[in-house]
């Protein structure tokens, strides 16, 4: 006989499996006893389906009687002849007032209070050094192309700051940088930590406005343990699309 637990082969009269050691007695008792199944009561018969009532087809509705509309009596026609209107007397029409003639425009002054007006930028030669400069050596080489300038105002009321306004003609961006650097070399003073050179070609509203470039030199700039000198230069007025911003340290 074959073991029902592990499937090993055994003799027919053996009570234990020689392979897994299971007892065959409970299995034999279960095999000898018939399996009793529960008896359930029969299902009740399903009731017959109820038939739906049959209704007669709808009868055709009769058309509604026509509505009697009230008769409208025609109105008499209006008279085509109207009473004569009173003739209007013609009123004199006054002529429109003559507009005064506009005065002829005055010719534009070439100078206003001693300040030159804005002029187009003339073509400039090539810069003597790479522009924009990346080192302080390249920046100092641009001084060769500097233009002549005039000192307009010099303010030393600040504690450690000096502001100098210079006037010169409009020029290319690299010429603005060269002229500002030349003015810085001419007006440098070691007792000030910061020196500002503002260039302009026309009269400005305040001393803080510039139209021809600005140079800010800081003598003592701390970078970690180092003490550097820094140049911050802006061309034009600093807000124009063609403006150039340069920051160089030495």
Segment-wise mean pLDDT, segments of 10 residues, the chain, 250 residues: 80 79 65 61 67 71 72 72 64 68 54 53 86 92 93 86 92 94 93 92 67 92 89 90 91
Structure tokens at 170: 């409009």
- For the chain, what are the domain ranges? 1-34, 120-249
Q: Does domain 120-249 have CATH number 3.30.460?
A: no
Tokens at 221, concatenated: 């700039």
Give the pLDDT of residue 46.
66
Overall size of the chain counted in residues? 250
Tell me what pLDDT residue 85 has. Answer: 64
pLDDT of the residue at 60 = 67
pLDDT of residue 176: 94
Looking at the chain, list the stretches that DSSP marks H as alpha helix, in order from N- to C-terminal side.
25-32, 136-141, 173-186
pLDDT at 3: 84
pLDDT at 112: 47
Structure confidence at residue 110 (pLDDT): 46
Tokens of 158: 């600040």
Round to whole Å and give the CA distance between 17 and 2. Answer: 9
* Predicted local confidence at residue 21, as pLDDT: 78
Residue 137 has a pLDDT of 92
Distance CA 151, CA 154 (A): 8
Q: Which residues contact 116 (CB under 8 A, 6 or more apart)?
A: 110, 169, 201, 202
> Do the beta carbons of residue 139 and residue 248 sit within 8 Å?
yes
pLDDT of residue 237: 87
Q: What is the pTM of this model?
A: 0.52
Q: Which residues contact 27 (CB under 8 A, 6 or more apart)?
A: 4
Give Cβ neighbours of residue 2 (< 8 Å, ≥ 6 apart).
8, 9, 10
């Amino acid at each position: 006989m074959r073991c029902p637990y592990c499937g090993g082969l055994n003799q027919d009269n053996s009570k234990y499996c020689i392979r897994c050691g299971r007892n065959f007695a409970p299995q034999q008792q279960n095999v000898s006893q018939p399996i009793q199944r529960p008896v359930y009561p029969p299902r009740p018969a399903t009731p017959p389906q109820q038939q739906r009532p049959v209704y007669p087809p709808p009868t055709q509705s009769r058309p509604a009687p026509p509505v009697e509309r009230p008769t409208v009596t025609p109105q008499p026609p209006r008279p085509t002849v109207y009473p004569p209107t009173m003739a209007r007397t013609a009123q004199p029409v006054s002529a429109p007032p003559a507009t005064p003639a506009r005065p002829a425009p005055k010719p534009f002054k070439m100078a206003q209070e001693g300040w030159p007006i804005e002029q187009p930028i003339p073509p400039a030669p090539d810069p003597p050094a790479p522009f924009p400069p990346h080192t302080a050596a390249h920046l100092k080489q641009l001084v060769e192309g500097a233009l002549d300038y005039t000192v307009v105002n010099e303010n030393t009321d600040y504690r450690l700051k000096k502001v100098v306004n210079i006037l010169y003609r409009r020029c290319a961006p690299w010429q603005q940088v060269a002229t500002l650097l030349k003015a810085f070399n001419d007006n440098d003073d070691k007792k000030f930590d910061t020196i500002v050179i503002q260039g302009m070609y026309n009269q400005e509203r305040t001393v803080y406005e510039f139209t021809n470039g600005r140079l800010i030199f800081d003598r003592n700039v701390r970078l970690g343990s180092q003490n550097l000198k820094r140049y911050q230069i802006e061309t034009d007025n600093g807000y124009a699309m063609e403006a150039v911003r340069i920051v160089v340290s030495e």
